[in-house]
Amino acid sequence: MTEVREHCELGSSVAEVWGLVGDFRGFVEMLVAPRGGTVRTDGDGVGMTRTVIVGHDRMVERLEELDETNWRVRYSMLETGPLRIVDYQAVIALTALGANRSAVAWVGSFAPDGTSEREADVAVRSIYIEGLTLMRARFGP
């Protein structure tokens, strides 16, 4: 299994950041909106799915855990779209650093499928970096 880890600090409270991260649909909408992507959700709570479409690429993800006490979301990817990976699982977790500061950590594991471990790592890591960059723009560095 390959593991990708990215993290950053944000200039907003953990409660404010959780408003986005804890919204299974809203977080991904923020990520794909700059590319004209769309998100559709099916169901509610743990077990719900979100279908993400960007151009001709389609991914389907399932919410596996939503821990509002510890500010943690765990999800899996059922259809990986353009990513050449299998067995994808990820966790996005927040930590309060003070009244108006928080940290976000995004950790994913997967196996490459028809590509090298390095290429799969680069593809997933680029999504994480883009997402954290958008979060910094929204919540401050």
Query: What is the per-residue pLDDT across 77-132, written as a single tens digit (0 to 9) for each?
Result: 999 999 999 999 999 999 999 899 999 999 999 999 999 999 999 999 999 999 99
Q: What is the pLDDT of residue 83?
A: 95
Q: What is the pLDDT of residue 9?
A: 97
- How far apart (Å, rounded) are the C-alpha atoms in residues 105 and 83? 21
Q: What is the pLDDT of residue 53?
A: 95
Facing residues of 10 across strands?
102
DSSP 33: G
**Digit-coded pLDDT (tens) for 52-91:** 999 999 999 999 999 999 999 999 999 999 999 999 999 9
- Domains in the chain and their CATH numbers? 2-139 (3.30.530.20)
Q: Are 106 and 118 in contact (CB under 8 A)?
A: no
- How far apart (Å, rounded) are the C-alpha atoms in residues 141 and 74? 24
Q: For the beta carbon of residue 15, count every other beta carbon within 10 angstroms.
A: 12
Q: Of 109, 58, 59, nearest to 87 (Cα)?
A: 109
- How far apart (Å, rounded) are the C-alpha atoms in residues 49 and 75? 9
The two tokens of residue 87 are 């067995």
Confidence of residue 34 (pLDDT cuts 50, 70, 90): confident
- How far apart (Å, rounded) are the C-alpha atoms in residues 95 and 13? 9
Q: Of 102, 92, 89, 99, nearest to 72 (Cα)?
A: 92
**Residue 35 in this model has a pLDDT that exceeds 90:** no
Q: How many helices (H) and strands (E) does the chain have?
A: 3, 7
